[in-house]
Amino acid sequence: MATFDNKVVIITGCSSGIGLATTLLFLDRHAKVFGIDVSPFKHEITEAQQSAFGFHQTDLTAPKASEEAVAACIAKYGPKIDVLVNCAGITDAWSSADTLKDSEWERVMMINLTVPVRLMTAVLPSMKEHKAGAIVNVCSKAGSAGAAAGIAYTTSKHGLVCFGEFIVTLVAFPGRPLCRDSYINQVGATKNAAWRFHTENIRCNAVLPGGVHTNIHKSMNMECFDQAGYAAFSRPIFMLHVAKDEEGQPKPVIEPNDVARGIAFLASDEAKMISGALLPVDAAWSTI
Ligand SMILES: NC(=O)c1ccc[n+]([C@@H]2O[C@H](COP(=O)([O-])OP(=O)(O)OC[C@H]3O[C@@H](n4cnc5c(N)ncnc54)[C@H](O)[C@@H]3O)[C@@H](O)[C@H]2O)c1
């Protein structure tokens, strides 16, 4: 089992769900964790863990919030940042292209895509200076498929992953050299960062969870709820994937800790030659 002795790990969305499970796992494995969340951190941690945990409460979508959060981490733990876990995120309300409101698009894209990229920008000077670093982006099955969420969430997670577009670009422009900016810009944030910094010992990977038992449903803006979108995607697709209880109601099988273990693996030295990988944590949902 990988440990993170004396490693400094920034985790966004640390107050709930996958981010909370990841925080507790990294603390168990001896990391110094700098957690960031807009919501208060209410989980009780042990006295031993307290000295290795710093909490920074901020709305990461605010201007300058990402760089201020990283500066606060450096002020607490020093200039070396070893790991960034981009986990904070929200879900959309199943809007499709025919019902989407600008406000819903902007709200979802900002925290799910813009903020993770801003945080990468903010930690890279430290990782480059120390010639090491690991970034793990929490994407989604919705980052590799079109039928798992509304249009805003799907696009935000594809932006963080964007594997399909890379293949399309290769096929459409077979003669063009891979290092051209026009190519790289279309690969998506995880793969772009993985390639760009692979000679500097900085890795970037993603986990793609299926449906996980968390509080994410509370982030849905019900004023934007699209019943037709929900009916088209949720019932036929989601119901295929989840286990059912005796009454046929969905029963989540993936727990936040299952995703946390995938994140920890990708962030650890056990994955030191793995970069640009998209790891499904979805009990085989990715196979359909
Ligand atoms: N739950 C699932 O089924 C599922 C599936 C695939 C991917 N994911 C992804 O996992 C990640 C974590 O989600 P979760 O399921 O644990 O949900 P969650 O709601 O339990 O946790 C998300 C956390 O992010 C924080 N957050 C939201 N907006 C923020 C902001 N503007 N600034 C700072 N913090 C903010 C919330 O306060 C919350 O603590 C998200 O990126 C989500 O898209 C979740």
Q: Is 138 in the pocket of ligand 1 (CB under 6 A)?
A: yes
Residue 152 lies in a domain: yes
Distance CA 279, CA 160 (A): 13
Residue 1 lies in a domain: no
Distance CA 9, CA 35 (A): 8
Q: Is 206 in the pocket of ligand 1 (CB under 6 A)?
A: no
Q: Is 96 in the pocket of ligand 1 (CB under 6 A)?
A: no
> Residue 186 has which token pair?
């279309």
What is the number of structural domains in the chain? 1
Residue 3 lies in a domain: no
Query: Ligand 1 pocket test: which of 22, 23, 90 has the largest number of ligand atoms within 8 Å of its C-beta?
Result: 90
Catalytically annotated residues: 153, 157
Q: Is 116 in the pocket of ligand 1 (CB under 6 A)?
A: no
Distance 88 CA to ligand 1 centre (A): 4
CATH number at residue 77: 3.40.50.720
**Which helix (DSSP H) or strand (DSSP E) does residue 135 occupy?**
strand 133-138
Local structure of residue 276 (DSSP, 8 states): S
Phi, psi of 240 (to 5 degrees): -70, -35
Distance 12 CA to ligand 1 centre (A): 9
Distance CA 190, CA 133 (A): 14
pLDDT tens-place values along the chain, 288 residues long: 789 999 999 999 999 999 999 999 999 999 999 999 999 999 999 998 999 999 999 999 999 999 999 999 999 999 999 999 999 999 999 999 999 999 999 999 999 999 999 999 999 999 999 999 999 999 999 999 898 899 999 999 999 986 444 433 444 444 444 333 333 344 489 999 999 999 999 999 999 999 998 999 999 999 999 999 999 887 777 777 777 788 877 777 899 999 999 999 999 999 999 999 999 999 888 888
Boundaries of domain holding 49: 8-287
Residue 115 lies in a domain: yes
Say whether pTM exceeds 0.85: yes
